[in-house]
């Protein structure tokens, strides 16, 4: 029997509706005007358990079976619950919900069926009693019931005073920061009804379901010095039709191309952000390209525990578990081929932006805890994206460590690359003598955002019994001017994206005078940076990455060509240390083409013979071009997914070489 849900039509809030019928139904939103394509009766069971039956005659006189609609409120047994662990956790024969909120005055747990969620209707409100369901600053409740395909969120009440750093609004549904899967829209890049780019989001309520079969998967634990890293974007890697994958632009699409990476000699893939983000965050018409700008790269996290569900072929089916299992499958299959998986994580800011940004999760749960907030409520902006995650606050650093542990223990990732990691070394909003030591300290000049020599968060990660054994890679700078390449607090185990290697190698190979000595240091493992307490393999050597020119563009363009971004070419880096080999652009003389190919081989040779860990950007192995655009964060279109080699000709048959995949 087909199952349909029409609770938004037939029931008031808190009532779930199911229709079981073998033929198609067409209903309006008026109880006295229900049209069916046959003769049927609808039996409605309300909260009071009384039933009403409506006999309805269709214009088409066709006899069919009876359609029975049972409207029944989900039944949950509610008890006190436990203050830990945070999040929604299966426990005994129920689910425990726990969430930290220091400054809230009241809390309500909201539960949804998937049908009610899509119709913006809460299925069940559970108001938490501060005398029973609160321990310290943690709200908690334990529920027994059937949670299959159920979603949840919270509503908090308290002071709404941006000047004091508080954004409590009891009308807003908030994501639990610890939610393990976030459900919103099902298809990547599709705008909601009425042009809504910020659809309602909710977390998956965990339930007892079939465990993922890891088939005995264990960490590969390669020595750092043996890694060859390949940076890729899950969607961009196989989205183009030339990839010839069954599931383009998804986790499964990447699985289909793992053998190609293995053939290249790659033994570690670094996945650009795969945490839940909203690709419609920047959605706007782009007249320069004739399409719409989107948040393609994903460096604007909404939830750090949830994988990006729209990167899965399952979309939101099964309310999250299928999407989680797809990224697990990718990791398992990579390990089978001897390839480690490193996640690019963005703990420097979130998608909630500055004071004009949306209230989705952290801001509504406890803004002054999760963000660096100035005395008058302004947001510090060391990230360049509107806000700064308050990484060294005790609650926030526990959150980050819990998240990293989850991805290692539950998802089997092998390590992390930390975007703008220098922000994780800055003092939190609590950092002053009174908060830390209980009294002012004479001569203490530390303030919010001050770089710390021994940051508590880095200390916790470095000495954590689970995290100490995984790959830890820092992008050792931030947008506030802090540059720590060679000086990032490392505890002897952290590696760094070596931006100085990139700049020096580019200058030397294009022929800039005075860089021979610096280039020699790069080839020898940058001892000027890493000889004190670290080894050459703590340098992640790179010539190109997602942010900047591709290798082919590095030898094709002297200047960026970012007009397709719709920002009048004002975005992106201006100092690229590139050289076009004498002529600008792709269509040039044969001698220039020959020189460009030789220069690309020179870059690859330098990268592979240098002491340290080489990192290759996807597509550089075949000379992929982005047309001179060095900031393609906003493009999800054919322009950056074409297989084009460095001489400007498109590959007519990508199967003729090993480059049978697409990148951007």
Catalytic member of 231, 279, 475, 496: 475
Phi first, then psi, for residue 70 (nearest 5°) are: -100, 115
Q: Three-class SS of residue 369?
A: helix
Rounded Cα distance between 506 and 512, Å, is 9
Answer whether 524's CB lies under 8 Å from 549's CB: no
Please list, in sequence order, all residues whose beta carbon lies within 8 angstroms of the beta carbon of residue 605, skipping any fewer than 6 positions away.
Answer: none
Rounded Cα distance between 332 and 313, Å, is 17
The string over 590-620, giving b where at least 16 C-beta atoms fall within 10 Å of a residue's C-beta and e elsewhere, is eebbebbbebbeebbebbeebbbbbbbbbbb
Rounded Cα distance between 37 and 466, Å, is 60
Q: Taking each helix axis from N to C terminus, what angle separates 499-509 and 590-609, rounded to the nearest 10 degrees?
A: 140
Between CA 31 and CA 95, with CA 15 as vertex, the angle to 5 degrees is: 165
Please list, in sequence order, all residues whose beta carbon lies within 8 angstroms of the beta carbon of residue 136, skipping any fewer than 6 positions away.
Answer: 83
Q: Smallest Cα–Cα separation from 107: which of 155, 176, 158, 173? A: 155
Phi first, then psi, for residue 374 (nearest 5°) are: -75, 165
Task: Extract the tokens encoding 304.
Answer: 């750090």
Task: Extract the tokens encoding 94.
Answer: 């129920």
How many alpha carbons fall within 13 Å on the CB side of residue 577? 18
419 is catalytic: yes
Rounded Cα distance between 157 and 171, Å, is 9
Phi first, then psi, for residue 94 (nearest 5°) are: -160, -165
The DSSP bridge partners found for residue 379 are 373
270 is catalytic: no
Task: Extract the tokens encoding 335.
Answer: 């390990």
Provide DSSP, 181-196.
Answer: -EES-SSTT---GGG-
**Residue 657 DSSP symbol:** S
Using the structure block, give the residue that is written with the tokens 């599931």: 247
Catalytic member of 176, 281, 419, 647: 419
Task: Extract the tokens encoding 150.
Answer: 């159920």
Rounded Cα distance between 40 and 25, Å, is 10
Task: Extract the tokens encoding 134.
Answer: 């609160």
Q: Three-class SS of residue 60?
A: coil
Rounded Cα distance between 129 and 80, Å, is 9
Strands 202-204 and 150-157: antiparallel
H or E element, residue 424: none
Q: Count the neighbouring beta carbons within 10 Å of the beta carbon of residue 341.
A: 25
How many alpha carbons fall within 13 Å on the CB side of residue 11? 30
Known catalytic residues are 419, 475
């Amino acid at each position: 029997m087909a199952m349909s849900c029409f609770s938004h039509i037939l029931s008031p809030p808190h009532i779930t509706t199911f229709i079981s019928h073998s033929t198609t139904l067409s209903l309006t939103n008026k109880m006295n005007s229900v049209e069916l394509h046959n003769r049927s009766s609808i039996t409605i069971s309300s909260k009071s358990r009384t039933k009403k039956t409506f006999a309805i005659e269709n214009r088409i006189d066709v006899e069919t079976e009876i359609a029975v609609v049972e409207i029944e409120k989900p039944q949950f047994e509610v008890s006190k619950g436990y203050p830990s662990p945070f999040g929604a956790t299966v426990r005994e024969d129920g689910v425990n919900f726990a969430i930290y909120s220091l400054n809230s005055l009241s809390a309500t747990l909201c539960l949804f069926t998937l049908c009610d969620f899509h119709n913006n209707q809460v299925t069940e409100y559970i108001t938490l009693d501060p005398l029973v369901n609160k321990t310290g600053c943690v709200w908690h409740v334990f529920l027994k019931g059937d949670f299959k395909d159920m979603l949840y969120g919270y509503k908090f009440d308290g002071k709404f005073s941006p000047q004091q750093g508080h954004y409590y609004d009891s009308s807003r549904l908030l994501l639990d920061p610890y939610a393990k899967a976030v459900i919103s829209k099902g298809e990547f890049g599709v705008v909601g009804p009425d042009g809504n780019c910020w659809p309602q989001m909710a977390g998956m309520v965990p339930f007892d379901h079939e465990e993922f079969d890891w088939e005995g998967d264990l960490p590969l634990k390669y020595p750092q010095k043996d890694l060859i890293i390949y940076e890729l974007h899950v969607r961009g890697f196989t989205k183009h039709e030339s990839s010839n994958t069954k599931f383009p632009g998804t986790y499964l699409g990447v699985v289909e191309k793992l053998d190609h990476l293995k053939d290249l000699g790659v033994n570690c893939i670094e996945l650009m952000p795969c945490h839940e983000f909203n690709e419609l965050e920047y959605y706007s018409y782009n007249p320069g390209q004739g399409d719409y700008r989107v948040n393609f790269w994903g460096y604007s996290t909404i939830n750090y525990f949830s994988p990006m569900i729209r990167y899965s072929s399952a979309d939101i089916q099964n309310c999250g578990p299928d999407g989680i299992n797809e990224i697990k499958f990718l990791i398992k299959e990579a390990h089978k081929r001897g390839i480690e998986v490193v996640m690019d994580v963005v703990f420097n800011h979130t998608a909630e932006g500055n004071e004009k940004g949306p209230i989705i999760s952290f801001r509504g749960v406890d803004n002054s805890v999760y963000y660096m907030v100035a005395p008058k409520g302004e947001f510090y902006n060391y990230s360049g994206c509107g806000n700064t995650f308050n990484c060294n606050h005790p609650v926030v650093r526990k959150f980050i460590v819990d998240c990293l542990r989850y991805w290692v223990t539950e998802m089997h990732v092998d390590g992390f690359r930390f975007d703008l990691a220098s922000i994780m070394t800055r003092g939190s909003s609590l950092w002053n003598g009174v908060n830390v030591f209980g009294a002012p300290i004479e001569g203490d000049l530390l303030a919010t955002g001050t770089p710390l020599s021994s940051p508590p968060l880095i200390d916790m990660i470095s000495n954590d019994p689970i995290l100490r054994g995984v790959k830890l890679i820092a992008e050792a700078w931030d947008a506030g001017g802090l540059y720590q390449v060679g000086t990032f607090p490392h505890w002897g185990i952290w590696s760094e994206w070596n931006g100085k290697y990139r700049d020096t190698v580019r200058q030397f190979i294009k022929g800039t005078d005075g860089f021979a000595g610096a280039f020699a240091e790069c080839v020898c493992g940058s001892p000027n940076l890493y000889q004190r307490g670290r080894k050459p393999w703590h340098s992640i050597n790179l010539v190109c990455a997602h942010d900047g020119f591709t290798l082919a563009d590095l030898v094709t363009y002297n200047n960026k060509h970012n007009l397709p971004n719709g920002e009048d070419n004002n975005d992106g880096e201006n100092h690229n240390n590139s050289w076009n080999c004498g002529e600008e652009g792709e269509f040039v003389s044969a001698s220039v083409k020959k020189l460009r190919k030789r220069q690309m081989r020179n870059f690859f040779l330098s990268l592979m013979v240098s002491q340290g860990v080489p990192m290759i950007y996807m597509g550089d192995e075949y000379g992929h071009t982005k047309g001179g655009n060095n900031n393609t964060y906003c493009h999800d279109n054919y322009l950056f997914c074409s297989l084009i080699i460095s001489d400007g000709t498109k590959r007519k048959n990508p199967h003729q070489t090993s480059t049978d995949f697409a990148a951007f």
